[in-house]
Amino acid sequence: MNKFPRPALRLRIAFRQPISTAALLALLLAGAGPAISAAIDPAEAYMREARQRFAMQQTDSGLLYRLEAVGAGSRPRRDDTIVLSFSALAPDGKTELPQLSRQKLRTKVADLLPGLAEGVQMIALGSRILLIVPPKLSFANGEWPAGIQPGTPLIFRVELQDIIVGGSAP
């Protein structure tokens, strides 16, 4: 008789193709439960799938991005005031989030959500960029706007329209 107990079996699943959030949730409900939920956060799984499906780049912070139009000139810095337009979408990519969308917003880069600020600083004047912002770079553990499920990634299409170097926002 062995005096040492066998180590607990750990469930390891290797997905050969990206798994959708719905499929992941189905696995969780089917009883693969605690082992999978501890290893894979649904938002993280969504970000992984989106990166592959939409051929996006990822920053060290976890922000996903894809340049849609490249502008020219300088890039804004954190202390600059900018004018930008952006539309926000829910993770399904179809549901518009008008409460987070703006046209010709004049603001300091530092006053944007962290994920938007990071994305805007990567582009030049006149550029357009698609961003998928993980929850930790949007509202994190703070209060989320009404109508938006807390803890979900957010999609933004952003166009940088003007940079006022060191300028002040209204």
Q: What is the DSSP letter of 96?
A: B
Which of 39-43, 69-73, 155-159 bottoms out in mean pLDDT, i.e. has the lowest? 39-43
The pLDDT tens digits for 20-29 are 555 555 554 5
Burial of 123 (0-12, 13-18, 19+ CB in 10 A): buried
Mean of pLDDT over the chain: 81
Where do the domains of the chain lie?
A: 21-53, 57-164
Give percent of the chain above pLDDT 70. Answer: 74
Token digits of residue 63: 């922000």
Look up residue 71 and give its amino acid. G
Q: What is the pLDDT of residue 46?
A: 87
- pTM across the whole model: 0.74
The pLDDT tens digits for 63-95 are 999 999 998 889 999 999 999 999 999 998 889
Is the pLDDT reported for residue 152 higher than 80?
yes
Q: What string of DSSP letters covers 25-51?
A: HHHIIIIIHHHHHHH--HHHHHHHHHH
Q: What is the pLDDT of residue 33?
A: 47
The pLDDT tens digits for 84-123 are 999 999 998 889 999 999 999 999 999 999 999 999 999 9
pLDDT bucket at 156, cuts 50 / 70 / 90: very high
CATH number for 57-164: choose from 1.10.1370.30, 1.10.3720.10, 3.10.50.40, 1.10.10.410: 3.10.50.40
Mean local confidence (pLDDT), 58-65:
95
Which residues are CB-contacts of 129 (< 8 A; sequence separation ≥ 6)?
65, 66, 67, 68, 119, 120, 122, 123, 157, 158
